[in-house]
Amino acid sequence: MTEDSMFDLTGRVACVTGGNGGIGLGMAKAFVNHGASVAVIGRNESKLHSAVNELESLTSPDKVMALQCDVTDRQAVEDTFKQIASQLDGLDILVNNAGVNRRADEPHLLSAEDWQYVIDANLTSIHTATSMAFPYMKQRGRGKIINIGSMMSIFGTAYAPAYAASKGGVVQYTKSCAVAWAKDNVQVNAILPGWIVTEMTNQFKEAFPDRYAMIVGRTPAGRWGEPADLGGTAVFFASSASDFVTGTAVPVDGGYSVW
C-alpha cells in the first residue's frame, strides 16, 4: 500500500451527523476531497441545503446527500441510515458529531430538563447512531466510527456540567465499542476538538474579549482552530491508515490541553 492510497477514501461511504455546518461540515469536505461519498444529516433544513451545495461543488453530485434527521429520534435515525445505505450503496464511516449545550452558573442550578436534553443529544444519540450503523459495517467486513468529544472530555467546567459529563462519557463509550468490535474489523476512535471558530462561537471574541485573549494566550498554536483543522485527523481515522488504531481519543486543540 502506497502512502497516498492509505488515505484514499474512494469507494467508502461516510455519514456525518451535525454535518451541515461547523466542524461537521469541515470533516465532510475532507472526506469528499479524499474520494468518499458523503451523507450529512442535521435538523436545520436551510443549513442542509447550503451544506450539500458546498459539497457538490467539490465532487460529483451523486456522491453527496443531505437528510433532515433528529438524532435523538431512534426511528428517524434507523430510517435515515437505511436511506443512506440504499442511495449510496452501504455505510463504511460514521462521524457522531451532533451535539448541544445548556449552561448554568453552577451544576446544581442546571434544570433536570436541560440535563436530560444534553445527555440525550450528546451521548444517547451516539449509542443510537452507532448501534444502527454497526450492522452495515459488519456486513461490509470493515468500518470506522469517529465520535466527537471535546476538551470537556478532559476538563470539568462549573457552567456546563451536563456537557462535560456527556463528553467524558463519549470517550468511555468509544473505548467500549472499540473493544467489542475489533474482531469485526471496525475501529472506533474519538476526536476532542479545542476552541474552534464556528457559527456557535464566532461572536465569542466580541462578547467575551478577556476570555478570548486568555484562550489564545494559553494555546501554544496562538490561535483558535478552524473547521478545516479537524479534517486531517478525521481522514486518518476514516482511512486504512488507522486500521491498527482503535479506542483512542485525540485532542485537536492547538496544544490547549497540554498545559
What pLDDT score was predicted for residue 259? 83
**CATH code of domain 3-198+227-253:** 3.40.50.720
Kindly report the length of the chain.
Answer: 259
The secondary element (H helix, E strand) that includes residue 47 is helix 45-56
Report helix angle 22-33 to 45-56, nearest 10.
30
Q: Give the separation between CA 259 and CA 242, rounded to whole angstroms.
A: 27
Cα dihedral 220, 222, 224, 228 sign: negative
pLDDT (0 to 100) of residue 205: 81
- At residue 243, the pLDDT reads 98
Residues 6+ positions from 28 with CB-CB distance below 8 Å: 14, 16, 19, 38, 40, 51, 55
Q: How many Å apart are CA 172 and CA 184, to the nearest integer?
A: 19
> Residues 98, 71: contact at Cβ < 8 Å?
yes
Distance between CA atoms of 41 and 24, rounded to whole angstroms? 10
What pLDDT is recorded for position 5?
86
* Segments of the chain scoring below 70 in pLDDT: 1-4
Would you list the domain boundaries of the chain? Answer: 3-198+227-253
Cα(213)–Cα(145) distance, integer angstroms:
35
Number of H helices, E strands in the chain: 10, 7
Contact 198, 21 (CB under 8 A): yes
Active site residue 256: no
Q: By C-alpha distance, which of 6, 5, 41 is closest to 20?
A: 41
Q: How far apart are CA 27 and CA 227, in angstroms?
A: 7
Three cell numbers, residue 213: 485573549
Burial of 200-234, coded b for 16+ CB within 10 Å and e otherwise, reads: eeeebeeeeeeebeebbeebeeeebbebebbbebb
pLDDT at 256 (0 to 100): 96
Task: Say which of 117, 136, 159, 163 is annotated catalytic.
Answer: 163
Check residue 2 and give its pLDDT: 57
